[in-house]
Amino acid sequence: MKLITRKNQLKEEIKIWEKEALSIALVPTMGYLHTGHESLIKKAKEENEKVVVSIFVNPMQFNSKEDLENYPTNLENDMKILEKLGVDILFAPSKEEIYPQENKVFIELKDLDKELCGATRPGHFQGVCTIIVKLFNLIKPTRAYFGKKDFQQLAIIKKMVEDLDFSVEIIPCDTVRTNKGLALSSRNSRLNSNELEDALILYKILEKVEEEFKKGEKNTERLIEIGKSIIGQVESAKIDYISIVDAETLEKIEKIKSDSLIALGVFIGNVRLIDNRELFI
């Protein structure tokens, strides 16, 4: 595996692959890799001839300086994982390499960032789209791999690729969970043992809401109230949002009439976790 930190060096490596007409996979991450990331990389390896993993804690997508400073990192351990998985290139640039000057041009989003995480983290998805566009332009991947845990991110990137005619296939990958149901996240490392148990409340909410939905409840307000009543059972939990939206448009709905999504943003102590589940008609 090659560790590359400079954009020009990365471009030169990509040119070699392009001349050989090799398929290229991109797995963009912010590092502190876990089994969920590994599942994306393994799928990328199966479906492509070359795999690039990026590790960059993107300051542009953080709303809180404290959250940015507390984001976990361990590049040495990440490199060991990527070596073992047989990744071809790890692109791990500095902030100065990616943003040598203040950006004056951005992707403008319409509607898709108004609900869920976008509602409480203004500018977050503009930051996400900025770094993804940079990576697409640098790496020119055949396919790019994203986890469904960040469902809104996935939906926005899919729409961006469609609307702006990027020549990359977006591959959604299922959320990986612990045996108790907690969605794997780098942020989980900031939870103590008691908080890890408390965090299971997100999975319990999704299970209960889906159960009631399958029994015939289609009124989203009532389903959301069920979720809120469950979260009240955990003292350390504080709701950021609980929403049910159309799975394609991400707009709030009053009654489930098509494939939908229940999505959660919940603080466990000082750590914000997200999770979701598709509700299929």
Which residues form the catalytic set? 37
Do 98 and 225 touch, CB atoms closer than 8 A?
Answer: no
Residues written for the chain: 281
Q: Phi and psi of 255, rounded to 5°?
A: -140, 140
Phi-psi region at 181: left, alpha or beta (left = phi > 0; alpha = psi -120 to 50): left
| Rg of the chain (C-alpha set) | 19
- d(CA 118, CA 95) in angstroms, rounded, equals 23
- d(CA 178, CA 184) in angstroms, rounded, equals 7
> What does DSSP assign to residue 13?
H
